Amino acid sequence: MSAPILIASGLRKSYPTPSGDLPILCGVDLQIAPGESVSIRGESGCGKTTLLYCLAGLEPIDRGELHWDGQSVAALGAGGRAQARAKILGFVFQSYHLTPELDALENVLLARRLAGPVRPADQTRARELLERVGLGRRLHHVPGKLSGGEAQRVALARALLNRPRLLLADEPTGNLDERTAKEVIALLLRLCAEENTALALVTHHAGFAALAARALRLEQGLLAPAPSA
């Protein structure tokens, strides 16, 4: 069996408040295997997004250990962490985070520009990914000319451009209507399966969460298997 692409052990995170520290994560343990899809649900404000940011190394943890592809994230240092993140992780967020003055193709290629010069092979892959998400005729449309569902498809193509080992998705359908959300979730799961990319999906939608190979729930700062519907 392949080694986990992500291992989190005993993650703890608190935020200071006037009345004292507010615990958000209280010893989270999580392992994700290569190509595995995992969903995380929980009540609003329970810390799902904080957990995702901690797993991405974007939010510092108070205690615990985090490993990406066998590497200790704490041991990497800031520079090494940024390089490893660019190589191993991809991100899809609720609000798309597209650059408004760039067209769809240019937005997808931003993922490569952050890692180095754009190569002809990157151009080819970006076009292929946009074709696969159904936007082959929208390559040169700026975000303002795209629907919400189309913008999220561009964000998905961008997240996959560098062939990440793990994709982190934070409420990727939160701004979409139900029909479009179903299409985007189906596309997200299909592309991750085709690319053998592991997926950690944060969602409030019980039906979407159940589509993942493993469904978890964050409650009182701990992760546990989600109860069956």
Q: How confident is the model at residue 123 (pLDDT cuts 50, 70, 90)?
A: very high
**Domain range summary for the chain, segments of one domain joined by +:** 6-225
Q: Express each pLDDT in 25-71 by its tens digit.
A: 999 999 999 999 999 999 888 999 999 999 999 999 999 999 999 99
Q: How confident is the model at residue 117 (pLDDT cuts 50, 70, 90)?
A: confident
Protein fold of 6-225: Rossmann fold (3.40.50)
Share of the chain above pLDDT 90, in %: 84
**Residue 28 phi, psi (nearest 5):** -75, 130
pLDDT at res. 216: 97
**Residue 71 phi, psi (nearest 5):** -100, 135
The answer to whether the Cα torsion of 47, 52, 57, 58 is positive or negative is negative
Q: Express each pLDDT in 143-201 by its tens digit.
A: 999 999 999 999 999 999 999 999 999 999 988 999 999 999 999 999 999 999 999 99
- Once rounded to an integer, what is the mean pLDDT over residues 7-19? 96
Long-range contacts of 130-137 (CB under 8 A, 24+ apart): 130/104, 130/105, 130/154, 130/157, 132/157, 132/191, 133/157, 133/187, 133/191, 134/187, 135/104
